[in-house]
């Protein structure tokens, strides 16, 4: 075996045969899970949909300029995705030669040439290890633990009207359905609003944090959790207030409220009335006059901006909880994994190998009923727990606080706070990733066999 492992079979021949099979399974699991956690981050290090429109002395010059610009923009987008605001500005775009070293490949779509102009849509995939090494050299913490997908539950409440979710012209739901899929650490699923969704949850259940109803909509989309977004438009001020609450294992107790305003329309600035004071709001005369938008168009821009802002808040909250300085010293944790069936061993091993904070995993002992691992990781124990929850595992102290146990996740996140409690902002100073709902802070010093 490629790992040091002490296998402890039973006394009879059947146990010996079983342990031989287990040994083969472990070997297969180890081979299939080789590589660093960064290499398994899927599309996290890919930036897609970069639009290019450049000109030059000729078509070739225009393409060169456009591709170089797209690569630089992709790098900036990736750094903003992995780090938090402030740290991202400390990382400058490398010169073209160094930037090429960080790029894995580039995909070109919808290319058009002509008259010294180049148009295309590019996707750039970066080398995860190379980017990680760059950030480590700069001493910048970054997050690469991806959240399990969250299904969004968009409740719209207009002034003087009852909250709506699926029926009654929910343009807030339409805005989520029309938005592009986020490229970041928090995948978002917009529900279709079909009959299954209508039977699963309604507006009142969503605002009350009804656990069964939320679990039903999560199950319908195979999501890892739900985020209720309660939008209250204010047409008089061209703004919308959104209360955001997340119900998901591995997430902090995240509740916040934010106010968003509509961006100006293309081709001009949004105005509350016409320049000459005419009651119909239409701009009259002048070369720079802007045709007034229909109310639906203004609301569409407003809710679209609110979708983008809400996603940004979720990304920021998740990133801050999972920032890790990968240049710091690691901690070695002794972990036991009870085994009910052969597949458990492979699943546990792959999850440990794929967790972003984990540097190395060594199988120390194997019996017919459990496996023991030495897990070296960076960051704190909460971040390791969070990463494992995203892979479907919990990591908790045993009841007697003598060892750490890793088990398959049993999803039971309880009730969300009701809307009556309000959304008074996020206070995560004492909130731990919830795995199997760890309600009390864990003191890593209590855990034995931690080096």
Give residues with Cβ within 8 angstroms of 102, minimum separation 6. 75, 94, 126, 127, 130, 131, 134
Count of other CB atoms within 10 angstroms of residue 406 = 22
CA 255 – CA 230 distance, rounded (Å) = 11
Query: What's the pLDDT tens digit per position in 215-247?
Result: 999 999 999 899 999 999 987 778 899 999 999
CA 368 – CA 16 distance, rounded (Å) = 9
Query: What's the pLDDT tens digit per position in 99-108?
Result: 999 999 999 9
Query: What's the pLDDT tens digit per position in 148-173?
Result: 899 999 999 998 889 999 977 899 99
Q: What angle do CA 98, 103, 108 make, to 5 degrees?
A: 125
Query: What's the pLDDT tens digit per position in 21-58?
Result: 555 444 444 433 333 333 334 588 999 999 999 999 99
CA 178 – CA 190 distance, rounded (Å) = 9
Query: What's the pLDDT tens digit per position in 270-291?
Result: 332 323 333 333 333 333 333 4
Helix (H, G, I), strand (E, B) or coil at 219: helix
Average pLDDT (247-274) is 68
CA 214 – CA 371 distance, rounded (Å) = 35
Structural fold of domain 150-269+301-321: Rossmann fold (3.40.50)
Read off φ and ψ for residue 405, nearest 5 degrees.
Answer: -115, 135
384 in Cβ contact with 377 (< 8 Å) = yes
What long-range pairs does 59-66 form, CB within 8 A, spacing at least 24? 59/113, 59/114, 59/115, 59/116, 59/117, 59/118, 61/116, 62/113, 62/116, 62/117, 62/118, 63/113, 63/118, 63/120, 65/118, 66/118, 66/120
97 in Cβ contact with 118 (< 8 Å) = no
Mean pLDDT score of the chain: 76
345 in Cβ contact with 1 (< 8 Å) = no
CA 249 – CA 218 distance, rounded (Å) = 12
Give the rounded percent of residues in the chain with a pLDDT score beyond 90. Answer: 33
Dihedral sign computed on CA atoms, order 139, 141, 142, 148? positive
Query: What's the pLDDT tens digit per position in 329-343?
Result: 788 888 988 888 667
Helix (H) / strand (E) containing 316: helix 295-321
Domain ranges of the chain: 6-32+326-446, 42-137, 150-269+301-321
Query: What's the pLDDT tens digit per position in 414-430?
Result: 454 444 444 333 333 33
Does the pTM surpass 0.85? The reply is no
3-state SS of the chain: helix, strand, coil percent to 5?
Answer: 35, 25, 40
Give the confidence band of 261 by pLDDT, cuts at 50, 70, 90.
Answer: confident
144 in Cβ contact with 41 (< 8 Å) = yes
Query: How is the beta sheet containing 103-114 ordered, strand by strand?
Result: 46-55, 117-126, 103-114
CATH for 42-137?
3.10.28.20
Average pLDDT (401-412) is 77
């Amino acid at each position: 075996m490629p790992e040091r492992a002490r296998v402890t079979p039973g006394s009879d021949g059947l146990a010996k045969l079983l342990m031989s099979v287990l040994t083969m399974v472990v070997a297969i699991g180890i081979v299939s899970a080789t590589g660093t956690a960064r290499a398994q981050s899927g599309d996290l290090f890919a930036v897609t949909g970069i639009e290019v429109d450049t000109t030059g002395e000729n078509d070739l010059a225009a393409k060169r300029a456009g591709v170089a610009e797209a690569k630089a923009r992709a790098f900036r987008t990736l750094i903003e995705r992995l780090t938090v605001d402030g740290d991202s500005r400390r990382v400058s775009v490398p010169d073209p030669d160094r930037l090429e070293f960080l790029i894995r490949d580039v995909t070109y779509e919808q290319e058009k040439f002509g008259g010294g102009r180049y148009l295309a849509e590019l996707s750039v995939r970066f080398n995860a290890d190379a980017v990680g090494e760059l950030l480590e050299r700069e001493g910048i913490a970054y997050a690469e633990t991806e959240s399990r997908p969250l299904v969004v539950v968009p409740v719209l409440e207009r002034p003087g009207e009852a909250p709506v979710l699926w029926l009654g012209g929910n343009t807030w739901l339409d805005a989520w359905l029309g938005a592009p899929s986020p490229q970041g650490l928090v995948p978002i699923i917009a529900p279709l609003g079909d009959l299954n969704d209508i039977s699963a949850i309604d507006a009142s259940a969503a605002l009350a944090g009804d656990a069964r109803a939320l679990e039903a909509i999560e199950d319908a989309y195979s999501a890892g959790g739900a985020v209720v977004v309660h939008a209250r438009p204010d047409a008089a001020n061209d703004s919308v207030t959104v209360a955001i609450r997340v119900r998901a294992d591995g997430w902090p107790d995240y509740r916040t409220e934010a106010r968003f305003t509509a961006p100006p329309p293309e081709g001009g600035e949004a105005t509350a009335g016409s320049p000459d004071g005419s009651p119909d709001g239409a701009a009259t005369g002048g070369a720079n006059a802007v045709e007034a938008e229909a109310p639906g168009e203004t609301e569409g821009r407003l809710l679209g901006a609110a979708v983008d802002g809400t996603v940004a808040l979720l990304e920021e909250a998740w990133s801050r909880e999972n920032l890790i300085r990968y240049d710091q010293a690691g901690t070695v944790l002794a972990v036991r994994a009870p085994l009910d069936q052969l597949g458990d061993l492979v699943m546990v091993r792959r999850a440990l190998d794929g967790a972003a904070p984990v540097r190395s995993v060594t199988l120390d002992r194997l019996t017919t009923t459990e496996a023991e691992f030495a897990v070296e990781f960076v960051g704190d124990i909460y971040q390791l727990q969070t990463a494992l929850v995203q892979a479907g595992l919990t990591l908790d102290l045993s009841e007697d606080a003598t060892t750490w146990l890793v088990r398959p996740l049993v999803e039971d996140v309880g009730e969300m706070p009701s809307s009556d409690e309000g959304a008074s902002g996020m206070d995560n100073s004492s909130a731990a990733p919830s795995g199997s709902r760890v309600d009390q802070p864990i003191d890593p010093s209590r855990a034995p066999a931690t080096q």
